[in-house]
Amino acid sequence: MTTRVEERPLLCFGENQTHGALLCAPSYTPLALLILVPGSGPTTRDGIPVSEQIEGTHPPFAVWSNHLVAQRYAVVRYDKHRASTMSESLCFSPPAGIAQEYDLDLDSVIAAIQDGDTANRSPIILVGHSLGAIGALHYARKNRRIKAVAAISAPPFGLIALLKHQLRGLLPEANYQALSVDLDRVQEPGSTHTALGAPASYWQDYEKHTLEHLLFTRHRQLPALLLYGEKDALIPNELVIALHQRLRDRSQISFEVVPGADHFLMVRPPTQKGDDGDYELSRLVEWLRKISPPTG
């Protein structure tokens, strides 16, 4: 039997425009309210850049949402507040901070959910993707309404370490070495250097909000799931393995690598128009069931 999904618009940012949607099945009370937190760049509620068009298939967050609603969860998807105006360049966040940007967005999204809505009385779990996982973990530490965080394809050890791994072998050796020096210099205290056109303050802000920092500080530890795709071209396997080694004694943190999955947990790309492809979300659902189990 197919679950009937109801989609309600959300005016998240007080601009008389629909910047989000709440998806739920009116036939049951949701086990939890999941907020999908998008990744870097000018990203829409569908989990893709504003400029990118995916023809013949649903964008990732749309597929995730339908699957999760069928599993008895309510789901919120939203456009990042600056999605229509943000630069497409590498420097996709202001030096003032990625953390502040995600904090403001999530405050607005949660406030937009109607007070009388059944979903708003459910436990809130953040499902952050890529850089959005870092934003979700940071926000959860200060908002006590957040029960847990699922971090999907999160950069393991900061942006600088990730870039060094990604660009090794892609740039000529001389260029790579010069960039490595720049990236090292911008981390020095009081640095006035730049790297890839961004000032030291930009890079230092990222390094203050790494996954490692958020997971290993004592301030408000929450249950967390770290989920990675085995074939993620953006997150090097060696960084994922190193992170797993560090997490062995952290009982509140679950760690999973999905065989054959990419950055969005897709295990089979679409082959024709109207084909969504296949996403492997069973490990996410299993963890959600443990965090917010069905009653009765």
> Where does 79-229 have alpha helices with state H?
98-112, 131-140, 159-167, 173-185, 200-208, 211-216
What are the Cα distances from residue 224, in Å, to 31, 141, 170, 241?
A: 17, 12, 33, 17
> What pLDDT does 116 receive?
53
Task: Report pLDDT digits (tens) over 162-212.
Answer: 888 878 878 899 999 999 999 999 989 999 999 888 888 878 877 777 777
Tell me if 157 sits within 8 A of 67, measured CB to CB: no
Task: Walk me through the domains of the chain, giving residue ranges and CATH numbers.
Answer: 6-157+218-291 (3.40.50.1820), 158-209 (no CATH)
Task: Report pLDDT digits (tens) over 229-241.
Answer: 999 988 888 889 8
> What pLDDT does 195 receive?
87
> What pLDDT does 5 receive?
76
How many C-alpha atoms does 58 have within 13 Å on its Cβ side? 14
Question: pTM of the prediction?
Answer: 0.86
CA distance 269 to 129: 19
CA distance 216 to 6: 39
> What pLDDT does 219 receive?
61
244 DSSP 8-state letter: H
CA distance 112 to 123: 16
- In sequence order, the 6+-apart residues with CB closer than 8 A to the CB of 218 are none
How high is the mean pLDDT in each 10-residue block of the chain (296 residues)? Answer: 74 72 85 91 77 65 92 91 44 54 87 69 91 89 91 87 81 91 91 87 77 69 91 88 84 91 91 84 96 78
> What pLDDT does 118 receive?
62
- CA 118, 120, 124, 125 torsion-angle sign: positive
